[in-house]
Amino acid sequence: MKRDILKTLKAEHDELRDLFKELKATTDRGVKKRQGLLEQIEAALIPHAKWEEKVLYPAFKERADRDGLQTHAEAVAEHHAVENSVIPEVHAAEPGTPEFAGRTKVFGELIEHHAKEEEDTMFKMARKMFSAEERAQLDEDYEAWKTSDGAAATLAAEKAKAGMKGAVRALTH
């Protein structure tokens, strides 16, 4: 079977769903577990989101009709909400607290909403916009990028940014 970027991204959504389910099942006493799961979630989510933003979304936008442009705008706005608001709030909470539990629950709910919308709307449109060959090529490009220094640097930079924003939020709220 041919590889397909849309299948890879869907599989990564499912991986994130599982991680959020595990996180939701933790208690305030499971500090190490919560920290470990949050690490895993960020390691899975950040390269996924950054590659969508840098490669998939612009390619999608170029071929989109009016509905597609709206779908694109929604997706970008959701990425921004997660990056600029939800993740910093999570970082501003101590893992052994109800605040952490509440904020990571919202984090998981937003990711679920966003992933479902991508799968049900954007990826459906993308399947028509891009040929099987193009989707296979995108999948290869994505795999190559994920193991590159660029991806590692992006992950480190985004995590540093989230930590900093979280620290500012913890001081000012």
**Site residues (CB under 5 A) for Fe ion?**
52, 118
Name the residue type at position 7: K
Name the residue type at position 43: A
Q: Minimum distance between the CB of residue 143 and Fe ion, rounded to whole angstroms?
A: 16
Query: Whose CB is nearest to Fe ion?
Result: 52
Nearest to 86 by CA among 160, 31, 162: 162
Strands (E), the chain: none
DSSP helix/strand/coil, 28: coil
Q: Minimum distance between the CB of residue 56 and Fe ion, rounded to whole angstroms?
A: 8
Between CA 156 and CA 54 the distance in angstroms is 17
Q: Minimum distance between the CB of residue 64 and Fe ion, rounded to whole angstroms?
A: 15
Q: Minimum distance between the CB of residue 83 and Fe ion, rounded to whole angstroms?
A: 11
Is the Cβ of residue 28 or residue 53 nearer to Fe ion in the bound state? 53
Is the Cβ of residue 31 or residue 110 nearer to Fe ion in the bound state? 110
Q: Which two tokens stand for residue 52?
A: 């969508």
Between CA 95 and CA 27 the distance in angstroms is 10
- With residue 139 as reference, give the H or E element that holds it: helix 132-146
Is the Cβ of residue 83 or residue 118 nearer to Fe ion in the bound state? 118
Is the Cβ of residue 110 or residue 170 nearer to Fe ion in the bound state? 110
Is the Cβ of residue 3 or residue 33 nearer to Fe ion in the bound state? 3
Q: Minimum distance between the CB of residue 153 and Fe ion, rounded to whole angstroms?
A: 20
CB-count burial class (<10 Å; 0-12, 13-18, 19+) for 110:
middle
